[in-house]
Amino acid sequence: MREILAERLKACRKEKGLTQMQVAVYCDITEKAYQNYELMTREPKLEILIRIADLYGVSLDYLVGRE
């Protein structure tokens, strides 16, 4: 699941034309924290994952590979 999440986070961000810093600011986290999600070194808390899904206009199921 972590690998799929990381791949989809990166793909969605690029599709929206956003930088890691822009996503981090929207989610009220550090840029390093967001980078860790895309690098598979950390998993976001549910609250942050919901914010990311809202920003990208996708479901949580999509982000974690359940659809």
Residue 49 predicted with pLDDT over 90:
yes
pLDDT band at residue 19 using 50, 70 and 90 as cut-offs: very high
**Structural domains of the chain ordered from first start:** 2-63 (1.10.260.40)
What string of H, E and C letters represents the secondary structure of the chain? Answer: CHHHHHHHHHHHHHHHCCCHHHHHHHHCCCHHHHHHHHCCCCCCCHHHHHHHHHHHCCCHHHHCCCC
Contact indicator for 25, 15 with CB cutoff of 8 Å: no
41, with CB counted inside 10 A (0-12, 13-18, 19+), is exposed
Global pTM?
0.92
